[in-house]
Structure 1
């Protein structure tokens, strides 16, 4: 068991300046050194094409391309290395878990993955050039794993499989784009149908209308369904599923014990406790629960904790946009593993 923490950061300004700011933060951490070690151990199974990647960003998320240039200038790094580490286009994904439950008023989610991939940052960002303000946990500096934007659009994603990858963006960059460029569920569905996907994931969407839509997306096909539960198997594109889905079906069984009348605090507790059948300690297998988060689209708030059993931190995007100071600058918790976060 070890103590872990995630730093809460804030930034208002252009994407380029945001990139420069993140570059300065990276220089104070072991993040790039740890990334270099990972690339030596795990040869990339993809190619970096600068022109192709630039054109894709300019079509779907031009502001984030400016952020990448800011990172390049701040780190004095060639663009190939920038795209390798921060571009998240044509990137190979490891297996993972994750469980999501929604009602009309909230989305509660367990993010399950490997601690060495976890940045340990939760960021409030308001772009002054293009895009909506967001608050979200950070993935690989430029990506987001779940979150909410200023219009109350909430997004989370769940891994499905890694077979037959295609040319396209990976989940955490797609998640960032959805939050920053889509106003509501309908916008997000249209965006997810259009953008090229590297791997196969389900994207769970909720907005203040109270309607949840789940987009099942692969490099080959996309479909949309209305549902309140999601783990790690497709319900429509079943031909795309992995062969071994026992753990995913087990967590789905326990998720179905939750219901639409359950208040958010109770649902959060059930997702975040060891004996609920949903929380996972399988960190070395790339599927341990790192954070539990609960987003309220009508209130623009988030409750989040690291590991199991800690009191959640309550954060408000609306308060921050209204100029109120952040209530704290750190999220702490405990996870039952010796594995450390990427920045440590």
Structure 2
């Protein structure tokens, strides 16, 4: 509980081939490598991850090879497939409307990279990066934006960590409909909820290792899918309370910066680390905290670092 500080950084790395991405990734390696699963550390596990990536994301294979060569660390390729990572569980609240995506990312501060990355691997993309080149949320130059929340069910299966699914659709898709078609066949290792918006449409979908892609009733999500939430889960996560609150608030940044949508349970991994408002049709995103904000855009991206206070004062 109470206030903490977290340092966020903004980096511009182009296509990953000139050393800027590699320099950042090498500096982050002591953090990033902790996410690689035990299976991914074996030759057999790494080969399975590579084969899965080649099958489902062939467009990104040249980028994977370029980044893995630049990172040049044992296990780098397996980790960068994001098909050999240990499970993670987060909080989060998100809501979309045509042309606007708003989200709170709730997690443990020490386990979030906090990197706003401007990339051009296949096309211009800006987003909150984690695990090398995965994305917690982001937008592309076509006006498509997407963010994730944990789906709330403690099941795990073979497949991709959802961070690379966000990267994949933003690199290869122009619209929500195209993104849904790309997402449907992807094996996703844990239950996740994605909210996607373009200029004309907003939708939330449920993904998981044990369910097909399922369209949610409306374009908002917290940390459950379409099933009863046990009382003990609700007491811990307040997922239904937050869903009701964000539905009532709509795309209002101020509402996400106060309870119940803004959370301070950092020791339980449910503290809000940042609030993001994406306006992808204008190519703009603003990250918000109770004491400040940081805006970025395709037209004017500003690298740098900022240390922000997390939590509510008083």
When normalised by structure 1's length, the TM-score is 0.79
**Unmatched 5+ stretches in structure 1:** 320-324, 338-344
CA distance in 2, matches of 1:250, 1:44: 37
**Unmatched 5+ stretches in structure 2:** none
CA distance in 2, matches of 1:77, 1:90: 15
1:153-176 deviations in Å (ceiling 9; x for gaps): 110111013533111101111111
CA distance in 2, matches of 1:192, 1:88: 15
> Aligned in 2, Cα 1:240/1:77: closer, same or farther, shift over 3 Å?
farther
- Equivalent of 2:10, from 8, 11, 15? 8
Is 1:134–2:125 an aligned residue pair? yes
* Structure 1 position 214, deviation (Å): 1.3
What is the RMSD computed on CA atoms of the aligned residues? 2.7
Q: Is the 8 A contact 2:7 2:114 kept in 1?
A: yes
Q: Is the 8 A contact 2:272 2:311 kept in 1?
A: no
- The within-5 A match list for 1:1-344 is 1-13=3-15, 15=16, 17=17, 20-27=19-26, 29=27, 31-35=28-32, 38=34, 44=38, 49-62=45-58, 64-78=60-74, 81-127=75-121, 131-161=122-152, 163-209=154-200, 211-221=201-211, 222-235=213-226, 238=227, 244-246=233-235, 247-259=238-250, 267-273=252-258, 276-305=259-288, 308-317=289-298, 319=299, 325-327=300-302, 329-336=304-311
Identify the residue that residue 342 of structure 1 maps to in structure 2.
Answer: none
When normalised by structure 2's length, the TM-score is 0.86
* Structure 1 position 284, deviation (Å): 1.7
Q: Is the 8 A contact 2:118 2:125 kept in 1?
A: yes
3-state DSSP of counterpart to 2:282: coil
Q: Is the 8 A contact 2:49 2:78 kept in 1?
A: no
* Structure 1 position 331, deviation (Å): 4.1
